[in-house]
Amino acid sequence: MNTKTTISISEARKKIFDIAEEVQRPGNYYTFTENGKPKVVMMSAEEFESLIETMEILSDPKAMKRMEQAEKELKRGDYVSWTDFKKGWGYTQKTDAIALADKGKKKYRVGGGKKKR
């Protein structure tokens, strides 16, 4: 749940440390006003970074095209479930993560569970 609080910059100055703590909770942010008009927004650094990343993705035409393509494939059922993906790689234990790496200088393998022998 998003919690937006609007207060004057003067009031914010008095409570800045409390506000800085409050905005650490996901969805909480403050709008500071000057003469009754919005001037500044305060949110956690984590949410700010997430917002910037989202804006970068949404402004990248290639990324948007790939997302549109992925949505079409999903609607067609043209995908592999996580369970089937793990089975295809031979993992039998329940796991939430499998690490994949590109073909850089170091050789890595898929990891994150016990492999069938």
Domain range summary for the chain, segments of one domain joined by + = 3-43, 80-117
| Predicted confidence (pLDDT) per residue in 49-102, tens digit | 999 999 999 999 999 999 999 999 989 988 888 888 878 877 777 666 666 666
Q: Rounded to whole angstroms, how far apart are CA atoms 116 and 93?
A: 9
Q: pTM of the prediction?
A: 0.58
In percent, how much of the chain has pLDDT > 90?
62
Give yes or no for residue 13 having a pLDDT over 70.
yes
Domain covering 3-43 in this structure, CATH number: 3.40.1620.10
**pLDDT score for 81:** 86
The phi and psi torsions of 4 (rounded to 5 degrees) equal -105, 130
**pLDDT score for 91:** 75
Concatenated DSSP letters of 77-107: T-S--HHHHHHHTTB-S--S--B---SSSS-
